[in-house]
């Protein structure tokens, strides 16, 4: 038991050091959104919600679950506590309370890249060119929590979006993969209100340390590779789990004739098309 806890401690401490070493930019502003999502169109009354954070730096931004931000801070605190306990010879692992979605979006505006983190048993890092969204800016304005915002509309990844941006916050950024307007996107929603990003607050970081980090340990993949992997997981979940647990696992070629097919609920992906 002591050996297992020691190894766990080593992993946590190494992770802590690794995360600090891989910082790529530091945020100077933080925007919070309430993300509302209808995951299944056959169950329109079931709307999932999660608090999301957009951290904005000079060159890079990070859009992550607030629960996962808290979890990261908690893990650092747990690692420090375990380090002190190990010195006394009494090591216990208190567990981690905070949870959130693993999905995250990093925009590297300096390198014109967008990185999308997905979780499917293991963590995957998908890379693409920073998308150019063809916004049509309207003269219509409204106030959102004392911020004067202007309306813009665009078609993006198979959905029609209405966004409200604030030019007084001159950051060409926004929640998720949205951005490219002459000001921060404060709120946005698709025309069916199946995807909603609702503004919850803005703050200057005021010198707080908030590094934005790409998960270097994640498996690099293309969108097409990950799509095939998810399709295989949906068709044959048991077979997928057995294969993904292999230490040598990287990719699976989906079988042409899977042994078991399962009935899937009607899905409602945020991205309906690739562009």
pLDDT recorded at residue 125:
93
For 131, the token pair is: 């998308």
Indicate the DSSP class of residue 267: P
Count how many residues are written for the chain. 275
For 220, the token pair is: 């690099």
- Bridge-based pairing of strands 122-129 and 219-221 is parallel
pLDDT recorded at residue 76:
47
Is 79 in a helix, a strand, or coil? helix
pLDDT recorded at residue 19:
38
Helix axes 223-235, 237-244, angle to 10 degrees: 120
Spell out, as residue ranges, where the chain has pLDDT lower than 50. Answer: 1-23, 75-82, 85-86, 91, 93-94, 96, 98, 251-266
Q: Please say whether the beta carbons of 207 and 95 come within 8 A.
A: no
Q: How distant, in Å, are the alpha carbons of 125, 239, 243 from that of 246?
A: 19, 12, 6
Pick from 29, 51, 24, 49: which is nearest to 39 by CA?
A: 49
pLDDT recorded at residue 254:
46
pLDDT recorded at residue 245:
64
pLDDT recorded at residue 101:
74
pLDDT recorded at residue 132:
96
Q: Report the distance separating Cα 221 and Cα 13, nearest Å.
A: 27
Q: Please say whether the beta carbons of 259 and 236 come within 8 A.
A: yes
Domain boundaries, the chain: 2-213
pLDDT recorded at residue 16:
38
| DSSP assignment string, 205-255 | -TT---EEE--TTSEEE-HHHHHHHHHHHHH-HHHHHHHHTSTT-S--PPP
Pick from 172, 177, 164, 180: which is nearest to 132 by CA?
A: 180
Condensed to tens digits (0 to 9), the pLDDT of residues 20-74 reads: 334 478 899 999 999 999 998 989 999 999 999 999 999 999 999 998 888 765 5
Taking phi over 0 as left and psi of -120 to 50 as alpha, with beta for the rest, 207 belongs to left
pLDDT recorded at residue 82:
47
């Amino acid at each position: 038991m002591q050996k297992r806890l020691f190894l766990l401690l080593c992993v946590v401490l190494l992770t802590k050091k690794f995360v600090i070493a891989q910082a790529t930019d530091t945020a100077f502003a933080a925007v919070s959104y309430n993300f509302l999502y209808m995951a299944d169109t056959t169950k329109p009354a079931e709307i999932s919600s999660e608090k999301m954070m957009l951290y904005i730096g000079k060159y890079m931004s990070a859009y992550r679950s607030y629960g996962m931000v808290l979890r990261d801070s908690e893990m650092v605190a747990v690692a420090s506590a375990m380090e002190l306990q190990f010195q006394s010879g009494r090591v216990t692992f208190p567990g981690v309370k905070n949870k959130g979605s693993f999905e995250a979006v990093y925009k590297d505006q300096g390198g014109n890249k967008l990185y999308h983190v997905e979780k499917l048993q293991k963590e995957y890092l998908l890379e693409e060119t920073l998308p150019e969204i063809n916004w049509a800016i309207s003269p219509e304005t409204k106030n959102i929590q004392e911020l004067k915002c202007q309306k813009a509309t665009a078609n993006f990844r198979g959905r029609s979006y209405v966004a409200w941006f604030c030019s007084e916050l001159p950051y060409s950024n926004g929640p998720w993969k949205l951005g490219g307007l002459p000001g921060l996107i404060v709120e946005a929603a698709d025309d069916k209100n199946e995807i909603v990003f609702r503004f919850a607050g803005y703050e200057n970081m005021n010198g707080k340390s908030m590094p934005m980090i790409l998960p270097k340990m994640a498996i690099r993949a293309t969108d097409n590779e990950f799509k095939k992997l998810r399709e295989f997981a949906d068709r044959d979940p048991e077979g997928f789990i057995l294969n993904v647990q292999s230490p040598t696992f990287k990719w699976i070629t989906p079988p042409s004739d899977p042994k078991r097919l399962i009935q899937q609920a009607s899905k409602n992906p945020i991205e309906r098309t690739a562009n």
